[in-house]
């Protein structure tokens, strides 16, 4: 029998106060996991705690920057002491800076790499010893279609997400023998509050140009919803995926499979 239950598991979802991270944490909770999350600002932690309470989820929130190795180690130690050894890590925290490459400062580029790639490395490094000791573990990295594709203004983000895809494969290669599975989810364009301005109707009732562009490039002919990521997350966090390792599961409505419509 396929086992999708996460009963008794401890899941750390980074940056999970809202949006994709919150939806994934909700799914893991509904499957039985205990939820812990972190954010880099206290007001965001508080926002997350309020959101979980409204969902009826008992979650523990930490103020912790994923780029601060000492702080991450301290957080993981506290989770292990107060909640339990982490069974599931979802590296969701991330940022994007949409700046043309020739206008982007090296420091801005480094910041995106630090949060989106070095952060997952630090968090994975912190939880792996406990997973080895326990004899199992699941690490889910939130990649992107930009792990495969380039696009104007996202040189740093695409570089980080491409690197995260390879970090996923390398964790699989290095720790698979310890019954640790490291996979990734690559979301397509997801309807969240951050992307809401790109989906607003224009004054004449027409779609926003970017909205039209995404719809035309997506065989599903719609934006994804955070809920579309819930099933894939539970699959990759559960025993159902015990022989799936080093894989990126793209949840994109088919964009990466589609060359686009021929111009009329």
Q: What are the tens digits of pLDDT across the range 126-178?
A: 999 999 999 999 999 999 999 999 999 999 999 999 999 999 999 999 999 99
In terms of Cβ atoms closer than 10 Å to its own Cβ (0-12, 13-18, 19+), residue 60 is middle
Q: What are the tens digits of pLDDT across the range 190-230?
A: 999 888 888 999 889 899 999 999 999 999 999 999 999 99
Q: Give the whole-number percent of the chain exceeding pLDDT 90.
A: 92
- Residues involved in catalysis: 157
Q: Does 41 have pLDDT greater than 80?
A: yes
Question: What pLDDT, on the 0 to 100 scale, is given for residue 127?
Answer: 98
Q: Does 183 have pLDDT greater than 80?
A: yes
**What would the DSSP string read from start to end of 47-104?**
HHHHHHHHTT--EEEEE--TT-HHHHHHHHHHHHHHT----EEEE---------GGG-
pLDDT band at 2 (very low <50, low <70, confident <90, very high): confident
CA distance 248 to 186: 6
Question: What pLDDT, on the 0 to 100 scale, is given for residue 262?
Answer: 77
Q: What angle do CA 210, 212, 215 make, to 5 degrees?
A: 110
Question: What pLDDT, on the 0 to 100 scale, is given for residue 34?
Answer: 98
Task: Using alpha carbons, select from 16, 1, 125 the residue that is nearest to residue 67.
Answer: 125
pLDDT band at 261 (very low <50, low <70, confident <90, very high): confident
């Amino acid at each position: 029998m396929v086992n999708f239950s996460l009963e008794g598991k401890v899941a750390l979802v980074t940056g999970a106060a809202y949006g994709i991270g919150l939806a994934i944490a909700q799914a893991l909770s509904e499957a039985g996991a205990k939820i812990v999350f972190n954010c880099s600002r206290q007001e965001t932690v508080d926002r997350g705690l309020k959101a979980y309470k409204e969902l009826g989820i008992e979650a523990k929130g930490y103020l912790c920057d994923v780029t601060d190795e000492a702080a991450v180690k301290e957080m993981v130690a506290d989770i292990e002491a107060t909640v339990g050894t982490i069974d599931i890590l979802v590296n969701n925290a991330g940022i994007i800076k949409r700046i043309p490459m020739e206008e982007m400062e090296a420091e801005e580029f480094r910041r995106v790499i630090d949060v989106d790639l070095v952060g997952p490395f630090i968090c994975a490094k912190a939880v792996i010893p406990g997973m080895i000791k326990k004899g199992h573990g699941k690490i889910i990295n939130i990649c992107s279609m930009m792990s495969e594709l380039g696009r104007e203004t996202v040189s740093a983000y695409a570089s980080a997400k491409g690197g995260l895809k390879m970090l996923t494969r390398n964790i699989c290669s290095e720790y698979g023998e310890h019954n640790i599975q490291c996979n990734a989810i690559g979301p397509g364009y997801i309807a969240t509050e951050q992307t809401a301005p790109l989906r607003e109707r224009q004054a004449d009732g027409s779609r926003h140009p970017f909205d039209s562009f995404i719809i035309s490039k997506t065989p599903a002919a719609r934006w994804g919803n955070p809920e579309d990521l819930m099933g894939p997350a539970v699959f990759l966090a559960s025993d159902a995926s015990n022989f799936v390792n080093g894989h990126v599961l793209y949840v994109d409505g088919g964009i990466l499979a589609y060359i686009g419509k021929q111009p009329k």
